Amino acid sequence: MELAKLKAKIKNFKYDNFDLEELIKLKSQKELSIGVGIPVLNEAETLGTLIDNIKEKCGGLIDTIAVFDSGSEDKSADICYEKGIPFVRDTEIAGELGLEKGLWKRGKGFNLWSSLYYLRDYDLISWIDGDLKEFEPRFIYGILGPLITEDNIVFSKGRYKRPETDNRVTRILVEPMFSQLFPETRDFVDPLCGLFGGKIDFLKEIPFYSGYSVESATLIYALKHTSPENIAQVYLGSLSNREHDNLYLGKMSGSISYTIHKIAEEFGVLTLKPNKISSQIVQQTTRDGIEFDFVKIDIEDYKLPPMKEIEKNLLKNLFSHEKVELVKPY
């Protein structure tokens, strides 16, 4: 697929442009299948209620739910087993994909990427964060609405009304970097929103990043691989996620900044000298505000190739006596 130039704005929708019952009918008429993926890491507090709500309120629209885990140590797995929901561990699916140690890295982005393989038999994929405190059906049907009703839409991104204290990373880091390096992303109001999805054939065409930077990276790649008029942005109303402390947000910001720099280099926006951009940050921690400790944190997310390449190489391995390398380090 050739990279597309910016010719038009993305298409904007509101969740109330769609009616759940009408979407169910249209989905049936078009013979579409839909899978929902939930990435988690120790989300037992919210996961069970989230699954119940999706089943109860959106069960007629979706065909399956699967949870993709990054090494949870809480009761997340037990909750899924009790509810009959697949609980896909990253270590297990990495083995199934033939990914050896050092060629993949644990994180939300890896979970989303690997879900494309696990849910490969479905036409449309919608992702929703496992830490949602309150669920509304619009979080699912809002994302899926443009994908079902508009034949040309291949990627659907959510945006929502956030509390004043939320969205700090977007406002302080992502918006300025996007404006400077990728101005074509200017129409995305909430680039770090974890509610998004697309047609699986398109999602398999684009690379993913393994960790915190997956949302910002997929926006850039989506715009590079299709025209803006094939991308939807949907207002989903108010939504509440778990709040994180500044150390967490600092690590998250470091990963996003590192990835955006790397993608900018990939597309010729920047030229980076070898080994001159650090894959670590130093964070200051303190208990009393007087004495500080300095901790080095790894922030590098791994670039994961388009899933279509992985599937192609898996097929080669099935019919060849020679092992084909599935993933090359980027």
Over residues 142-151, the pLDDT tens digits come to 999 999 999 9
275 Cβ contact list (under 8 Å, min separation 6): none
User: Which ranges of the chain does DSSP label H, i.e. alpha helix?
Assistant: 20-29, 44-58, 76-83, 90-96, 108-118, 138-149, 168-169, 175-181, 200-203, 214-225, 246-266, 307-318
The Cα–Cα gap between 11 and 235 comes to 11
Q: Give pLDDT tens digits for 258-276.
A: 999 999 999 999 998 877 7
Q: What is the pLDDT of residues 30-45, one digit of tens each?
A: 999 999 999 999 999 9
Among 109, 136, 125, residue whose Cα is nearest residue 49: 136
- For 101-149, the pLDDT digits (tens) are 778 899 999 999 999 999 999 999 999 999 998 899 999 999 999 999 9
Q: What is the pLDDT of residue 298?
A: 92
CA distance 214 to 199: 17
Task: Report how far residue 224's alpha carbon sits from residue 237's, in angstroms, rounded to the nearest whole number.
Answer: 28
SS3 159: strand
Q: What is the pLDDT of residues 42-77, one digit of tens each?
A: 999 999 999 999 999 999 999 999 999 999 999 999
**Domain architecture of the chain: domains with CATH:** 11-318 (3.90.550.10)
Q: Rounded CA gap, 288 and 291, in Å?
A: 7
Partners of residue 235 on adjacent β-strands: 14, 159
Per residue in 283-307, pLDDT tens? 887 777 788 888 899 999 999 999 9
Q: What is the distance between the alpha carbons of residues 254 and 275, in angstroms, rounded to a whole number?
A: 16
Q: Compute the average pLDDT of residues 187-216.
A: 97
Residue 270 CB-density burial (10 A; 0-12 exposed, 13-18 middle, 19+ buried):
middle
Q: What is the Cα–Cα distance from 250 to 267, expressed in whole angstroms?
A: 26
How far is the C-alpha of 323 from the C-alpha of 313, rounded, in Å?
Answer: 9
Burial of 317 (0-12, 13-18, 19+ CB in 10 A): middle
